[in-house]
């Protein structure tokens, strides 16, 4: 009997699960994040090994209890993996986890989420977390993507984008009207998150913060959105930017259902509602609630794909 290990390595953390061939999750947890580009440096490879240390311990324990009659297969989705030097990353991950490289399927994190949750030609996935991207898996099993260009060249509508735009908005308003931030609920929420109300505090935060740290500022924006017009506008704009990604795929591959996944859609109802309002009339929009690490573990173990129409 095969056991399956699923790894979903996003911008803020690595979620993992072990499952049996029935799809039943035996164990799961989370650890710190890493990205596919870190395999190119010794320091990066060491970081990856550190983050996967706890996963390896859990895997070894379960496999020891399962006995020799069980084998382990793995599916992994890693943010920042673009297919370049894929063998190197695959080999390093396998080594860290005690696997043969041939027992590990490697994707980027969004392709993994798509493959474990949607059938071929089953619709468009718009994923928005720290970053954002939209994907489509065609009938020939080819993945098409738009967006996902990173915080410098894109990711408009993502948590990182929301955090940056929020800080930009309050400091722009402060320049135009000194004293603005004292009376802005959005500014006060952001200042609490960055650790101070002075410009030096924001500057220090942006110099030292990770992508995930900046992305988590979106939580502060959402927390005051019902009382702050600027926060409301930012969440609406984020939804509009994400709708653009879905429309681009529709222009290339036709009208299909749109599935929403990622933590950004859990921030506030304004974001998914503004997205839906920017799509063609009668477009079916669904929330994808599957946990990719669990679905990957089940698929790695040989369990059937999950039908997203059965998800709540």
Tell me the C-alpha distance between 183 and 190, whole Å. 13
With CA atoms as reference, report the closest residue to 112 among 298, 296, 306, 305.
296
Tell me the whole-structure pTM to 2 decimals.
0.81
Please tell me the predicted confidence (pLDDT) of residue 309. Answer: 44
Helix (H) or strand (E) holding 3: strand 2-9
Tokens 């039943």 belong to 24
Tokens 């974001």 belong to 271
pLDDT digits (tens, 9 = 90+) for 259-278: 999 889 999 999 999 999 99
Please tell me the predicted confidence (pLDDT) of residue 311. Answer: 40
Between residues 214 and 61, which one has the greater pLDDT? 214
Please tell me the predicted confidence (pLDDT) of residue 1. Answer: 61
Tell me the C-alpha distance between 214 and 193, whole Å. 10
Helix (H) or strand (E) holding 89: helix 86-97
Which pLDDT band, with edges at 50, 70 and 90, does 284 fall under? very high
List, as own/partner pairs, every contact residues 279-286 make where C-beta atoms lie below 8 angstroms and the sequence separation is at least 24, other chains included.
279/243, 279/246, 279/247, 280/247, 280/250, 280/255, 283/246, 283/255, 283/257, 283/258, 284/257, 284/258, 285/257, 285/258, 285/259, 285/260, 286/123, 286/257, 286/258, 286/259, 286/260
Tell me the C-alpha distance between 256 and 267, whole Å. 25
Which one-letter DSSP state was computed for residue 148? -
Mean pLDDT calculated for residue range 119-135: 92
Please tell me the predicted confidence (pLDDT) of residue 289. Answer: 78
Please tell me the predicted confidence (pLDDT) of residue 85. Answer: 58
Three-state DSSP at 169 gives helix
With CA atoms as reference, report the closest residue to 160 among 189, 192, 131.
131
Quote the mean pLDDT of the chain.
90
Which pLDDT band, with edges at 50, 70 and 90, does 92 fall under? very high
Domains for the chain: give ranges and CATH numbers: 2-118+291-310 (3.30.420.40), 120-287 (3.30.420.40)
pLDDT digits (tens, 9 = 90+) for 38-59: 888 999 999 999 999 999 998 8
Three-state DSSP at 102 gives helix
Please tell me the predicted confidence (pLDDT) of residue 69. Answer: 61
Out of 75-84, 124-133, 237-246, 255-264, give the one with best mean pLDDT. Answer: 237-246
């Amino acid at each position: 009997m095969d056991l399956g290990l699923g790894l979903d390595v996003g911008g803020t953390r690595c979620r993992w699960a072990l499952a049996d061939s029935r799809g039943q999750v035996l164990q799961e947890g989370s650890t710190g994040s890493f990205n596919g580009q870190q395999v190119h440096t010794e320091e990066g490879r060491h970081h990856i090994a550190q983050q996967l240390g706890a996963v390896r311990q859990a895997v070894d324990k379960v496999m020891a209890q399962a006995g020799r009659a069980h084998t382990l297969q793995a599916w992994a989705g890693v943010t920042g993996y673009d297919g370049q030097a894929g063998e190197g990353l695959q080999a390093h991950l396998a080594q860290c986890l005690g696997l043969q490289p041939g027992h590990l399927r490697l994707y980027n994190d969004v392709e993994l989420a798509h493959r474990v949750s949607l059938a071929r030609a089953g619709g468009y996935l718009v994923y928005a977390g720290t970053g954002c991207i939209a994907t489509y898996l065609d009938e020939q099993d080819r993945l098409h993507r738009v967006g996902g260009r990173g915080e410098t060249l894109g990711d408009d509508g993502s948590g990182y984008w929301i955090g940056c735009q929020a800080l930009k908005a309050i400091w722009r308003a402060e320049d135009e009207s000194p004293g603005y931030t004292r009376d802005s609920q959005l500014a006060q929420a952001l200042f609490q998150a960055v650790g101070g109300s002075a410009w030096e505090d924001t500057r220090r935060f942006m110099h030292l913060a990770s992508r995930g740290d900046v992305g988590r500022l979106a939580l502060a924006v959402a927390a005051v959105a019902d009382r702050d017009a600027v926060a409301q506008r930012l969440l609406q704009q984020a939804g509009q930017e994400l709708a653009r990604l879905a429309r681009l795929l529709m222009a290339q591959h036709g009208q299909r259902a749109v599935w929403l996944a990622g933590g950004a859609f859990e921030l506030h109802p304004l974001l998914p509602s503004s997205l839906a309002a920017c799509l063609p009339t009668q477009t079916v929009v669904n929330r994808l609630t599957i946990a990719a690490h669990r679905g990957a573990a089940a698929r790695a173990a040989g369990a059937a794909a999950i039908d997203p129409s059965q998800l709540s």
